[in-house]
Amino acid sequence: MSPFWAEFVGTFLLLFIGNGVVANVVLKNTKAQGDPGSWVMITSAWGLAVFVGVVVAGPYSGAHLNPAVTLGLWMDGAVDTATMWMYFGAQLLGAAAGTTMNYVFYKPHYDITDDGGAIRGSFCTAPAIKNTWNNFFGEALGAFVLVFVVFYFVGGTLEGESTTPIGLGSIGALPVALLVWVIGLGLGGTTGYAINPARDLGPRIMHQLLPIKNKIDSGWDYAWIPVVGPLAGGALAWWIKELLLTTAV
């Protein structure tokens, strides 16, 4: 499989399963509608969705599955500029396709759900309390934790002779699943922890385009935050990593 298709398929699976659990919780007449443990269910499934994506994409592309990860590794010299843009495109298209398949999968439930906010929530994120600075801070710091930990997992690989592509796959599927899970449990309560520009933007575009019954606006006034915030967090993770490596105390 080529790196492009690996990133596309890995991100497709991430969104198909990840947004699938949200749909299962919030849409009408699903088996999990209104489950009292919905946040644990959602964060657990998103972590395991990353596991699935990493297992498939890891050997071929490194399994970035997230432009914030790709940006951080580009800044570190692990990927070149052409590869970075190719990964960005594959991730965005995979996210759009994955969430569209989720819509098809749950369509009978979408058709009878009249809560437009719940419908949009199964595509993209929205803050619990709308506060531009706090929302941006939350998205940036969530992505910072993800990318910062990735750097410390893959540090030996970056320094060595391995021909395996660098990315989340360098950590291993289970550790990265646990990392995403704990970020969701600990830091996801303010914005829904997109921490991934493709994860939020691709589905938001599809929410705008698909003929969904009872949908509300796609929240474009907020949409820049889960895109710019995680990218800033990924860049900050690289900068702090470099600062710690070069500061002698």
- The domain of 181 spans 3-240
CB 143 within 8 A of CB 234: yes
The pLDDT value given to residue 160: 47
**pTM assigned to the model:** 0.93
The backbone torsions φ and ψ at residue 19, rounded to the nearest 5 degrees and listed phi first, read -70, -20
> What's the structural domain count of the chain?
1
Distance of alpha carbon 176 from alpha carbon 146, whole angstroms: 9
CA atoms within 13 A on the CB side of 121: 20
Is 234 inside any structural domain? Answer: yes
Angle at 114 between CA 36 and CA 201, to 5 degrees: 80
Residues 6+ apart with CB under 8 A from 145: 183, 187, 233, 237
Is 31 inside any structural domain? Answer: yes
The pLDDT value given to residue 247: 74
Question: Distance from CA of residue 60 to its chain's centroid?
Answer: 19
Q: Which two tokens stand for residue 4?
A: 């492009």
Is 91 inside any structural domain? Answer: yes
Written as tens digits, the pLDDT of the chain (249 aa) is 999 999 999 999 999 999 999 999 999 999 988 888 899 999 999 999 999 999 999 899 989 999 999 999 999 988 999 999 999 999 999 999 999 999 999 999 999 999 999 999 999 999 999 999 999 999 999 999 999 998 887 764 444 455 567 777 667 778 888 999 999 999 999 999 999 999 999 999 999 999 999 999 999 999 999 999 999 999 999 999 989 888 766
Is 245 inside any structural domain? Answer: no
Q: Which helix (H) or strand (E) holds 34?
A: none
CATH code of residue 165: 1.20.1080.10
